[in-house]
């Protein structure tokens, strides 16, 4: 469910009571491990961590490049890891370290979870910390060159 919120605070305030603790916990891990230079905003109806346009304005759609997003969906919650999408090494890092006692429900960049216990938060923090602003920009430029 895409939110109409325009600020992170408004997004969080609008969350259902049963989802807010999980979203808050994932957000805390992301913020604690976020490399310097990213900014927390609401973009595409989700809490997103982006490269500000004043750092990299040359995007195909005029919007900041997204490294990660957190969203409340109808049937689950999602953590979008664009720093993993299209980076074979980053995806392998995540998949190889995912605990065997937890099911990885992942699309191209979207890790879906129903409960906070479904996520290994320490690993999520490591994945977030691996992608710098320069790494994300370089990956974006490689993808646009194809």
pLDDT, one tens digit per residue, over 63-100 is 999 999 999 998 999 999 998 987 889 999 999 999 99
Does domain 8-145 fall under CATH 3.90.1150.200? My reply is yes
Which residue, among 40, 42, 118, 50, has the nearest Cα to 78 in the 3D structure? Answer: 118
Share of the chain above pLDDT 70, in %: 99
Half-sphere exposure at residue 106, Cβ-oriented, CA atoms within 13 angstroms? 19
Instruction: Provide the residue ranges of all domains of the chain, joining segments of one domain with +.
Output: 8-145
127 vs 4, which has greater pLDDT?
Answer: 127
Counting Cβ atoms within 10 Å, is residue 120 exposed (0-12), middle (13-18) or buried (19+)? middle
In this prediction, residue 144 carries a pLDDT of 86
pLDDT, one tens digit per residue, over 97-126 is 999 999 999 998 999 999 999 999 999 999
- Give me the sign of the Cα torsion angle 47, 53, 56, 59: positive
4 has pLDDT over 90 = no
pTM confidence score: 0.94
Per-residue confidence at 127, pLDDT binned at 50, 70, 90?
A: very high
Q: How far apart are CA 24 and CA 10, in angstroms?
A: 13
Whether 137 contacts 59, CB under 8 Å? no
CB atoms within 10 A of CB 3: 17
7 has pLDDT over 90 = yes
In this prediction, residue 1 carries a pLDDT of 58
């Amino acid at each position: 469910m895409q939110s109409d919120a325009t600020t992170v605070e408004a997004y969080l305030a609008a969350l259902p009571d049963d989802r807010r603790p999980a979203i808050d916990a994932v957000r805390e891990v992301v913020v604690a491990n976020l490399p310097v230079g990213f900014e927390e905003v609401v973009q595409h109806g989700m809490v997103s961590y982006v490269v500000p346009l004043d750092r990299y304005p040359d995007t195909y759609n005029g919007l900041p490049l997204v490294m990660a997003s957190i969203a409340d969906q109808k049937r689950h919650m999602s953590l979008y890891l664009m720093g993993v999408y299209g980076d074979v090494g980053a995806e392998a890092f995540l998949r190889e370290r995912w605990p065997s006692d937890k099911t990885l429900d992942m699309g191209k960049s979207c890790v879906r979870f129903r409960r906070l216990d479904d996520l290994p938060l320490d690993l999520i923090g490591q994945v977030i910390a691996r992608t710098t602003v320069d790494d994300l920009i370089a990956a974006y430029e490689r993808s646009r060159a194809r």
